[in-house]
Structure 1
C-alpha cells in the first residue's frame, strides 16, 4: 500500500510539473523523428529548389536558432525542413547566412529565405499555412512550397496546375488548367495571363514555351521526347489588404510532363505499276505522315531513296527492262527531327 501511495504521489507530482510547463516538453522538436518531403522554393520567374527530396530531423531548427526551442512543433516542423534544404543547397556553414528564423510574441518568424529578404508564403500539399513555420508539423511524403515575394507589395500569389504529371506525344498539344490561391480572400481564382515554362532543375531557370491561354487553360506544345519540369508564370488581379485593386505575379508548384516519341504506323504498298523507264508506287494513306520510298536494282546492294508527301509517286530514270525492289516507310517531322515507322514488305517490279 505504501509503495502504491508513493507511486501515485510521484505521478501526481510529475503531472503538476508538466501542467506548469506549457509548450516545453511537447513543443520541442525531437532528433529521433525524421521526415523526407518534396520541397520547392523560389521567387517569381526563378526557383531556388524545385521538387527536391529533402530529409529533415526534428532538432534542426533549434540547433541553429535556439530561441525557437519553445515554439517548435513536436517531431519535424516546416522550419526544420527550411534548415535542411538550406544545408542541402548551400552547405551547413551557410545556414545563418541564407536563412533567418526568429521568435516573436506570436510564434516563429522567417526573416530571410535562401538569401531573399522579402518572405514568404508557405504551403503544404497545396494548402496554405497560416501558422509560423516552427508551429507547422510535417511528415514524410508531404509536398512543401516556400515562396518569397518579388517586392514589398506582397502581391505575388501561389499558382499550380490541374495535374502534377502529364503525358503527351512530341508535337501534340497539351492543355493544363492554371489555378491561383488568393491568400487575401482564401479562394481559388484564375490568372489574368499565364505562360507555361520549362524549368532547369539544376539552375532553377525558367524558359517560356509558346502558350495559348484562355479562361484558366494554358495550351502549349513540346517537340522533343523526354521528361520536363513545367511551371506557370503570369499575372493575377487581386485586392490588396487595403482593398485596392492590384496586379500580382503568379508562382508556385511545378509539374512534370513526359513526352514520348511519335508512334508511326507501318506503311503499306497498295500498288506498284511499271512504266517505260519508270515505276509508280502507291501507298496506303497514314494521317499526318510523309513517305520515304527506297528502291534498288535487282542484285544491287545500294538503295536509292525519295521522300514525298504524296500517296502516289512515280520514280523515273530507271533502267529499261530491269527488275527493281521497292519498299516504303512513313515518317513525321516534329521539332525539326524525323521520326520513322517500319518499312513495308518489299515488292518487285520489272521496268518496261
Structure 2
C-alpha cells in the first residue's frame, strides 16, 4: 500500500513543474514586447522618472513595485522614510539656545542677545550694573563663576536649549544705608490745640526733606518705608523694611495730657539710651525748635523686659538695624504745633537732622563739604572749690568743639580741651584756684576727609571758683528745729542763717567747723515758722571764699 501512495505523490509533483514551464514563455514574451515599446517611446519623448512610470499588470501576478533609479555615487542621498512628511530636499530647521538672566537684589544684569543659534560659535556681551552703594561679588555664566566683573564677553558654541546667567552683589563698606519712616499714614492725630495740624501731614514732608538733605552727601543710600502716604504698612513690617540698612528712623510728634509738655523725645532700642546719635538728635531738635523742657532719651519694653514695646523698633532690631523713634515735641502744645505747621521750619529741621546724621557717620557732601558749624553759646556752673563746669548749646553740623580759657576777658585765651564728639556739650575744668575768676569761649568744628572747618567763637562767659552750694533739710522738735546739710568738699566752715519770712532778712545764727553736718536751733517760739539757709566758705591765704547760699528749708517749731 505504501508504494502506490508514494508513486501518486511523485506524479503530482512532476505535473506541477511541467505546468510552470508551460506558463513562463508567455511571461518572458510579454516583458520583451514591453521593452521594445519603451525604447520606441524614448526616441519620441523625454522619459519620465522611474517612480512615475506606469507598469502594466500581467494576468495572475501582483503589481510590481517600481524600480528605483540607480544611485549616483557623486551625489549621495539620504534614504527617505515613507512615514516622514518632510521634503528631503528642504534643509533641517535651525535650533536655538535661550539666554536666561536671573536678577537679584543689589543690581541688574543685561545681555545684548537673548537667543543664539546652536552649533554656531557666538559671543554675547554681559553688563553688570550694581545699585548705588553696592559692588559686584561674582558673575556666573552657565554654572561657572567668571569673576567679580562689571562687563564680560562670553564666547561659546551653544549645544543646548538654554544657558543661565546671574550675578551676586555685596554692600560697599564705604556707604551708609538709611531707612526713613514717616510714621502714620493718611490724616491721623489731629492737634487738640491747633486744629489744622495733623501729625501724619507733618511727618510725610519732613521725612522727604530729610531724604533730600541726606542725599546731598556722598556715600549714602536713603530709602523710605512707603512710596506714598496713602499706602499703609504694619508697624513691625515698617521696621523689618530696614533689613540690610545701618539706621532706621521713624519720625513723629508726641501727645500728652498736659498742654505744657514741650520737649523732643528719642525712643531707642533696649540698652541704647546713651547712644550718641540719639543724644545728638534730641539736642538738635531742642535747639532748632527752641523747646522749653530740654530733651529726653527713653526706652519702653514689654512686660518681659526684653523686647521693645514699639513694633517698628522690634522689627528693625529683628533684622539687625539700629532703630529710633524721633518725637518732635508735642502737638498737644500750641507753640510746638504751630512751629511744626511751617514748611520752612520743617526744611530747617531736616537740614539740621541730616547734618547730625552725617556728622555721626562721617559723611561729607559731594565735592567739598560746605557745612560750617553754627555758633554756640556758653554757660558756667560752679561745681567745686576748684572746679568749674562749662556747658554750651549744640552747634548744628559740629563734630567737635574746642574750649578756650583766659584769666581776664581781654587776656590771652589758651586751649583747654578739644572735644571730639559732637554730642558732648559740657566739660569739667578741674584744678582751678579757689576765689579766682576765669573766662571761657568755645568754638565748634566739623572734621571731614578734606580737612577741618571751624565755626565762629561763642560769646565770652566768666565764673568765680568757689565752694559748692550746700544742700539742706530740716526737722522740727519741741521748741527747736534741726538743720542738716551734706558735706561740701573743701569747706573750712559752715554758716547757718535764719529768717521768719521766706523773703525776709536772714541773720547768721551759727558758724560751724567743717566736720559738722547739722545744727539745732533751740528756744524757739512754739508753733512759729522759721526759714533757714546755709553757705560755706574756704579760707585761702587768710581770705574767706564763700559759696552761694543754699535754698531755704522751713519748719514750724512744736
Q: Normalized against structure 1, the TM-score is what?
A: 0.29
Whose Rg is larger? Answer: 2
Q: Which has the higher contact order (CA 8 A, sep 6+)?
A: 1
Structure number with higher strand proportion: 1
Structure number with higher helix proportion: 2
